[in-house]
A and B are shown apart, each in its own frame.
Chain A
């Protein structure tokens, strides 16, 4: 936890400066107070720079790893794997559709676990993890819906059908969009983190129920799939299976990369917010005390 410690350190140091500034308030004018604040800023900046320099090694390696895997996936999908005989080129959408679907499901588990952990420990890091998972997951779920529809139109003959997995995904997509909207509408703070965790959990509890309901529904309404290959049972093995496997690993790695970047950004947003609050509070204090010093010193002069 070096990052958390450095933030606490920074805030303590900031508190120290503020105290120092406070004790000198009566002797220094506004200009000097401003200098003090300036020192604070440059100090925070220097520390930020230091932190940035220490961190990126792992991130750079992970980014390079992700890029290499993605390049390999693209090569396999578009050049290496043979074109499927029945469906033609559109079948290649599968190599994107299945991996993003998998990561979107992983995101739901991530949100659920992080939400439970937050409610138990009240540690902000779990909340950040849930947000990172939700935002990345919603993007991946949207990609899954789009790639699925693009594939379904020529193959099944329809953009959309009441298939259980499709229905479930669409509803879950809406639940997690609502989760993110709730976070956007609610003022930041402990309450938002707590209530968001509850929503995230209810969504996760709902997932198997929705899936069961959608399956029952599908059985009651056999899908109106009329495309040329609607009854085509394609097997997944050989080059197709291998490409799918590599693509799934690549997208999982990408998911981890994007989510961890989002997590980091979230953490920095929180730090900036805390610093800004502390500084504006101090600026307010400096302004009011120097005002009162001026008025005290000017009052007798005016009287004389």
Chain B
């Protein structure tokens, strides 16, 4: 168990080190998400009540769309550097490679959200920096990372992977986006844990199911 965790961390650390030097992925997610949010502030005339109504939806649509960009890079980097074969030759099980990649992507999306949330709060003038929303954000990031990593690996060899990944990723993660939007709405409207417990359960179920299913299916993705 300890050894497995160490392997997962080593694999994730490799991605984090690469990211620390290039800053490609996190920067792309942050800038794109903020752009989506900024465009919505022009597209919708933001009265305080309207901001509360549409704000959570805009926030999560922005995170989901921007997340796709980052997830795309996570395997594109491997393909471009011809390191995919190296990764496959690594003498560790495929599940651990998957969990390493998921951990890396989870950290990227979470770091991006650390920037996105305060800016969103300022622009929409609604309070999203609360314990409840942070838990929701962590659950959503984990689910995005699980599904996104699997699909990114599937679509890395497609000739137009930039088109393919969102087409696969967005419809599949609809339940998670629904859960995140509805719980955030409840929090913004002053609700407590009990008001969105069902949505939280849905998000947790989504995370658990796709973490297991993607890990099992991942061995068929990387297979030569």
Contacts and interface: CB of A to CB of B under 8 A. Distances in A.
A199 interface: yes
A216 B182 contact: yes
B223 interface: yes
B113 interface: no
A213 B154 contact: no
Contact of B205 (A174, A178, A203, A209): A209
A102 to B, nearest CB: 22
B167 interface: yes
Nearest to A210: B175
B44 to A, nearest CB: 19
B164 interface: yes
Given A182-B168, A216-B202, A171 B158 contact: no
Interface centre among B147, B151, B159 (most CB of A within 10 A): B151
A212 B178 CA distance: 11
B158 A216 contact: no
Interface string B201-224: 010011001100110010011010
B11 to A, nearest CB: 21
A194 B155 contact: no
A166 interface: no
Given A186-B157, A195-B154, A199-B154, A209 B175 contact: yes
Contacts of A114: none
Contacts of A198: 150, 154, 217, 220-221
B154 A206 contact: no
A168 to B, nearest CB: 9
Nearest to A216: B198
Contacts of B155: 182
Nearest to A186: B158
B68 to A, nearest CB: 13
Interface residues of A, number: 30
Contact of A213 (B168, B178, B220): B178
Nearest to B177: A213
A40 B125 CA distance: 75
Question: What is the size category of the interface that chain B forms with chain A?
Answer: 20 to 34
A296 B155 CA distance: 50
Contact of B158 (A172, A185, A205, A206): A185
Contacts of B158: 182, 185-186
Given A212-B202, A213-B174, A205 B213 contact: yes
A197 interface: yes
B156 to A, nearest CB: 10
* Residue in A191, A213, A214, A220 whose Cβ sees the most chain B Cβ within 10 Å: A213
A217 B174 CA distance: 11
B154 A205 contact: no
B164 A202 contact: no
Contacts of A203: 172
A76 interface: no
B164 A217 contact: no
Contacts of A197: 220
B179 interface: yes
A202 B160 contact: no
A175 interface: yes
B199 interface: yes
Interface of A: 119, 171-172, 174-175, 177-178, 181-182, 185-186, 191, 194-195, 197-199, 201-203, 205-206, 209-210, 212-214, 216-217, 220
Given A202-B172, A206-B172, 10 more contacts: A175-B172, A185-B164, A191-B157, A194-B221, A197-B220, A198-B217, A199-B154, A209-B202, A210-B174, A213-B178
14 contacts: A174-B170, A177-B167, A182-B158, A186-B157, A186-B159, A191-B157, A197-B220, A198-B220, A202-B150, A202-B214, A205-B213, A206-B172, A209-B205, A217-B182
Interface of B: 147, 150-151, 154-155, 157-160, 163-164, 167-168, 170-172, 174-175, 178-179, 182, 198-199, 202, 205-206, 209-210, 213-214, 217, 220-221, 223
Would you list the 10 A-B pairs with minimal beta carbon distance, nearest first?
A: A213-B175, A178-B167, A174-B171, A175-B171, A209-B175, A213-B178, A185-B158, A198-B217, A195-B154, A178-B168
